[in-house]
A and B are shown apart, each in its own frame.
Chain A
Amino acid sequence: MKRITTISIFLLLLSLASLACFAATANSPLERLRSGVQSVINVLNDPQYKGVVDKQDEMNAKVREAVKSFFNFRELSKRTIGRPWLKFSSEEQDRFISLFTQLLEETYLGRIEDYTNEKVSFDKETIIKAKYAQVDTRLLTNKEAIPVIYRLKLIDNAWNVYDVKIEGISLVNNYRSQFAGILDTSSNDKFETSKKELFTRLEQKCHELKDQQEKK
């Protein structure tokens, strides 16, 4: 009986401690990002998948899931379109988000095999206006340290990534310049046609990337 009480007290303390941990992660963008990145790395290093050809699809799905847990693709998509986003209907917004997410996934999942035990160093965290945060990190390769900056936004009490800057090149800004080259906002008619073109080109690109993946 005494043993059971000890165990239950122990368990209670343990859960309290983990609760405190959880609260801390919710508060700090840096910790949130670190656990997110760590979870991706854990999947990549999982001996269950590493180097096993048959399980690559399963691994990709797991990575996708891990990334989705700390990236906010809605915010990311919204920012790549910029102000014309407000003129998208909600179905169009959803369609864009799913296509653009797919594009990013297909592009970056193809590069997973390039990962060779690099470490990530989390250097600095800056919070602005209470809901925007920037975390400076460096990807430490054998030869050099590549600066990678994450930008996060606090939405529904969770810090989620909405932009990544590598060597000064912002992902959102880069795609925005491309989408802005396609979207023509000068008149409503032109906007509608250019929006259609944007969707066809996105679909085409996703298709291309998928074919490429399958060829591998």
Chain B
Amino acid sequence: MKKPMTLKNSASNALLAFLVLTFILLTFPSQVRSAESDDPILVAQVGSGIIGAVEKENGSAPTDDDFDDDIWGDAKTQQQTGASDPWEGYNRAMFTFNDFMYFKITKPVTQGYMYVMPLRPRTWINNFFQNLLYPVRVTSCLLQAKFFTAGAETSKFVANTVIGMGGLGNVAGSQQSTMPLYLGNEDMGQTFGVWGISNGPYFVIPVLGPSTVRDAVGLGIDTFVLNPFWWFGIPWYYSVSAGAYNQINKLSFHLGEYESLKEGAIDPYLALRNAYLQYRTKQVNDAKRGRPAPTSSIVTDPNAETQPTN
């Protein structure tokens, strides 16, 4: 009699907490990005940094300017990637720490794991976690009114759970499948971005890496409210180890990416900060609906000689 109660309680608590948070965020004076307003927009103040202060562009550029980056309508993107970094001292220290952790612990562990675990089971495990985290993604899709993607996520979830052995297989959404699905990998940080909340100060999370105040809050909601690991009264140490395992498994597919970013950088801290902010901006601004376009007929042929271009 006791067990179902706790189960129900924790689930309803999570739901309540989520609804309250959503309500708070929705009633926030979140200023929708608008081109007309020139005034700095104040959304909220956290510590010393001001979240959402959009700096005014100083001076208007001449019309035919070689350095004008707005030819592609990038002004909005530029603003979002312009970093506010009031905690740079802390961030740089944490970057060094994370760098050390990555090369001394995470990477060797992952390499050992890759040595033991072949590619196939790793893919299954990746699919399994991806499938399990469906609530995280679908909630954000719905909150961003991305109904097409939410539908795609749902059908993928159902198909993979039912036919794909509880998510181990990926019967939908792979390139070979007959019905490619557009999946944006949505999360709460992106949802806040779509709602018009700016990044806020850049913030390096210990071990996890680059983030901003907005994305850190989103990550918190994703992890503790929407992630099924934290439902059903599962003890926290199980949840944490499962999460860590997922991260290691995921990293095994992305080993070397951080190294190559760092290799070409003059200032790795700034390079990573900029890359993170640009990547998130792209994720926030991605299309509301859409399918991946079919492969264009114009393709390079890896095996052919130079082809005449007619």
B71 and A128 contact, CB distance less than 8 A: yes
Instruction: Give bound CA distance, A45 to B302, whole Å.
Output: 7
Known: A24-B310, A143-B175, A169-B279. A134 touches B266 (CB 8 A): no
Residues of A within 8 A of B35 (CB): none
A145's partner among B271, B273, B278, B292 (CB-CB below 8 A) is: B292
Answer whether residue A56 sits at the interface, using C-beta atoms and an 8 A cutoff.
no
Residues of A within 8 A of B296 (CB): 121-123, 138
Q: List 28 A–B pairs whose Cβ atoms lie within 8 Å, in order of A's numbering.
A: A18-B308, A21-B308, A21-B309, A35-B309, A41-B302, A45-B303, A78-B67, A83-B67, A85-B67, A103-B264, A104-B264, A107-B264, A117-B302, A119-B299, A121-B296, A122-B299, A145-B295, A151-B72, A168-B278, A169-B282, A174-B275, A175-B266, A177-B270, A177-B273, A178-B265, A178-B266, A182-B266, A209-B264
Residues of A within 8 A of B282 (CB): 167-169
Report the 5 A-B pairs with minimum CB-CB distance, sorted nearest first.
A168-B282, A107-B264, A177-B274, A122-B298, A117-B302
B300 and A25 contact, CB distance less than 8 A: no
Mark each residue of chain A from 18 to 62: 1 if its CB lies under 8 Å from any CB of chain B, else 0: 101100110000110011011101100100000000000000000
Mark each residue of chain B from 259 to 282: 1 if its CB lies under 8 Å from any CB of chain A, else 0: 010011111001101110011011
Known: A30-B298, A117-B302, A168-B279. A182 touches B267 (CB 8 A): yes
Answer whether residue A179 sits at the interface, using C-beta atoms and an 8 A cutoff.
yes
Measured between C-beta atoms, what is the minimum distance from A48 to chain B in Å? 13
Residues of B within 8 A of A205 (CB): 266
The number of residues on chain A lying at the interface, defined by a beta carbon within 8 Å of a beta carbon of chain B, is 61
Instruction: Give the residue name and chain of the B residue nearest to A84 (CB).
Output: B67
Measured between C-beta atoms, what is the minimum distance from B275 to chain A in Å? 5
B67 and A82 contact, CB distance less than 8 A: yes
Instruction: Give the residue name and chain of the A residue nearest to B65 (CB).
Output: A83
Known: A111-B260, A177-B274, A178-B271. A168 touches B283 (CB 8 A): yes
Residues of B within 8 A of A67 (CB): none
User: Residues of A at under 8 Å CB distance from B?
Assistant: 17-18, 20-21, 24-25, 30-31, 34-35, 37-39, 41-42, 45, 78-79, 82-83, 85, 103-104, 107-108, 110-111, 117-123, 128-129, 132, 134, 138, 140, 143-145, 151, 167-170, 173-175, 177-179, 181-182, 201-202, 205, 209, 212
A178 and B279 contact, CB distance less than 8 A: no
Instruction: Give bound CA distance, A29 to B75, whole Å.
Output: 24
Instruction: Give bound CA distance, A18 to B309, whole Å.
Output: 9
Answer whether residue B57 sits at the interface, using C-beta atoms and an 8 A cutoff.
no
Residues of B within 8 A of A42 (CB): 305-306
B310 and A179 contact, CB distance less than 8 A: no
Instruction: Give bound CA distance, A175 to B71, whole Å.
Output: 19
A181 and B264 contact, CB distance less than 8 A: no
Instruction: Give the residue name and chain of the B residue nearest to A212 (CB).
Output: B263
User: Residues of B at under 8 Å CB distance from A?
Assistant: 66-67, 71-72, 81, 83, 175, 260, 263-267, 270-271, 273-275, 278-279, 281-283, 292-293, 295-296, 298-303, 305-310
A24's partner among B266, B298, B309 (CB-CB below 8 A) is: B309
Residues of A within 8 A of B273 (CB): 177
Instruction: Give the residue name and chain of the B residue nearest to A83 (CB).
Output: B67
Further pairs besides A34-B300, A129-B71, A145-B175: 6, Cβ < 8 Å: A38-B306, A117-B303, A119-B301, A120-B299, A140-B295, A182-B267
B278 and A170 contact, CB distance less than 8 A: yes
Known: A143-B175, A145-B175. A177 touches B298 (CB 8 A): no
Instruction: Give bound CA distance, A174 to B260, whole Å.
Output: 14
**Residue picked from B66, B293, B302, most chain A C-beta under 10 Å:** B302
Residues of B within 8 A of A37 (CB): 300
Instruction: Give bound CA distance, A18 to B273, whole Å.
Output: 48
B266 and A177 contact, CB distance less than 8 A: no
B278 and A169 contact, CB distance less than 8 A: yes
Instruction: Give the residue name and chain of the B residue nearest to A139 (CB).
Output: B300
B298's partner among A121, A132, A134, A145 (CB-CB below 8 A) is: A121
A31 and B309 contact, CB distance less than 8 A: yes
Known: A119-B299, A119-B301. A173 touches B81 (CB 8 A): yes
Instruction: Give bound CA distance, A177 to B121, whole Å.
Output: 40
B278 and A174 contact, CB distance less than 8 A: yes
Measured between C-beta atoms, what is the minimum distance from B263 to chain A in Å? 6
Residues of B within 8 A of A83 (CB): 67
Instruction: Give the residue name and chain of the B residue nearest to A18 (CB).
Output: B308
